[in-house]
Structure 1
Amino acid sequence: MGELVEHVDEHDHVLGIVERDEAVRENRPHRIATTICRDRAGRILVVRRAETLSRFPGHYDVMVGGAVDVGESYEEAAARELSEELGVRVPVRFLFKFLCRRGISPVWFGVHEAVVTEPLVPDPGEIAWRGWLSVAEVCGVVDQWLFVPGGREALRRYLRSGSGG
């Protein structure tokens, strides 16, 4: 059996439990917890996804994250994913959520922010490259580089919200 996720409606209310691959295949909205990482200087972490990933291989993103497990909160999932993908345990702060229809299927993104002060230990099965970019640098490459569509939309919402200072 594959990874189980909660199938949710247009208002992020749980309708049932399905395998994630089925949710994607049948365009059933489900939840993804993500985090935009900043360093002490305010730079944003940009990652390039590993080429071996089934979803958006080799694409750049400003979000680190993954599916919210059944019964898990967005915040719990965001903290877990940071640990799994970047090898860091830092507090995450929930910012906003939105229904994203760009990409492989509709998903509710729960977007968080974290200030990372410890060294990153990225999982090479998830992250092929990473770099800290200023807000201006990220804005300069987001439409030039091959970005995950949801990450591009989340970045714009993040900057408009005033969080991206």
Structure 2
Amino acid sequence: MSAADEILDIVDENDQVVGRLPRGQVYAEGVRHRCVFIRARDAEGRLFVHRRTPTKLVFPSLYDMFVGGVVGAGETYDDAALREAEEELGVHGLPRPEFVLKFLYDDGAGRSWWSAVYEVRCELPVNPQVEEVAWHDFLSEEEVERRLSDWEWVPDGLAAYQRLKAHGARGEGPG
């Protein structure tokens, strides 16, 4: 099954499931769905940063400071966070990512999704999926801040990053 054929839950403005559609149709029609963003840190506290491959359906070749992706139909945010973190980092046996906050991302141009943001410590050697990650490294927060104006970042990841900075404390559960 291709990524475009994956079935996703369709949700309303209150994050209530109202239907299911294939991912390709969801993206083509700008239908609201669910995503997870996981900020991964290594043993030294540095952030995992990567550049997406040019074949990604959304935001190809842009930089991201989160791993993550869509929540599958019937999947919980928590389960999707662990699955996506392990898949994109190329590891098994990660601790369960800790939920931090949830927000509705909407770019005003037909891209809208509920976004649950998590954090996880990855002390395992990473081996990211070559289909997902073109380049990666662990960078200090200071280095990430320096790169914000130099690199082209995924806009939803920037929105999550800004919300994390403003949030500071732990949030409510993802529901």
TM score, norm. by length of structure 1: 0.92
Question: Which amino acid in the other structure matches residue 130 of structure 2?
Answer: P
Q: How does 1:1-165 map to 2 (within 5 A)?
A: 2-88=5-91, 89-91=93-95, 92-102=97-107, 105-162=111-168
Runs of 4+ aligned structure 1 residues displaced above 3 Å come to: none
Residues 121-144 of structure 1 show CA distances to partners (whole Å, capped at 9, x for unaligned) of 111110011111111211121232
Note closer, same or farther for the CA distance 1:114–1:104 as it changes in structure 2 (3 Å cut): farther
Cα-Cα RMSD: 1.6
Give the C-alpha shift of residue 115 in structure 1.
Answer: 0.5
Residues 49-77 of structure 1 show CA distances to partners (whole Å, capped at 9, x for unaligned) of 01222221110001111111111111101
Report the number of matched residues.
Answer: 163
Question: Which amino acid in the other structure matches residue 151 of structure 2?
Answer: W
SS at match of 2:50: strand
Q: Which ranges of structure 2 fall in alignment gaps of 5 or more residues? A: 170-175
Q: Is the 8 A contact 2:38 2:66 kept in 1?
A: yes
| Percent of aligned pairs with the same amino acid | 39
Output the CA distance in 2 between the equivalents of 1:138 and 1:146. 12
Give the C-alpha shift of residue 90 in structure 1.
Answer: 1.1
Question: Which amino acid in the other structure matches residue 98 of structure 1?
Answer: F
Q: Which ranges of structure 1 fall in alignment gaps of 5 or more residues? A: none
Output the CA distance in 2 between the equivalents of 1:56 and 1:17. 23
